[in-house]
Copies of this chain bind each other. A is one copy, B any other.
């Protein structure tokens, strides 16, 4: 069976960088945004629409269609959400069959549970997350805006994860290894953690 590493992560914790560098270090495939493109291809929806569905709580996303009853809109919307989630499951499973890999987000820890992935969760203190976001602050947001944005994105991630898995996002029981990246440079941390797999 291939070695699958799934990465759950808080926004600003450096989890995506961690996943990418870990895959590089180990010579594993790395999947993150590629999954969205694959879902778009499979469902014949636009990438941006798939992204929207993936980023929001399933029950909050209503593609408003004038002149149709709410019941119809709801049904249309639910069908789409289910279609996207099913496509995501199929794609993740085919990636897991293909080779050793690192997968960031996408409830992969849960969807691929039969593949016995090593489930990592990356988290940091709020100060550390704000600091990381300030470094790459292309939108010139204030510290306060960044703080709010972190809370809001993590809140969406938690609801999405909980909706599909019935498990609590970020709770240590759902992971094999939880790593605190507060005050840690990801590029220095990765070679150390990579030793676990060598």
A residues adjacent to B (C-beta < 8 A): 121, 123, 125, 170, 172-173, 175-180, 192-193, 195-196, 198
Minimum C-beta distance from A112 to chain B (A): 16
In the docked arrangement, what's the CA distance between A176 and B176, Å?
14
CB distance B196 to A123 under 8 Å? no
Q: Find chain B residues with CB under 8 A from A196 CB.
A: 192-193, 195-196
Tell whether A179 pairs with B180 under 8 Å between CB atoms, given A192-B196, A193-B196, A196-B192: no
Most chain B CB within 10 A, of A121, A123, A195, is at A195
Query: Given B170, B180, B195, which contacts A177 in the complex, CB threshold below 8 Å?
Result: B180
Minimum C-beta distance from A189 to chain B (A): 10
Query: Given B173, B179, B180, which contacts A123 in the complex, CB threshold below 8 Å?
Result: B173
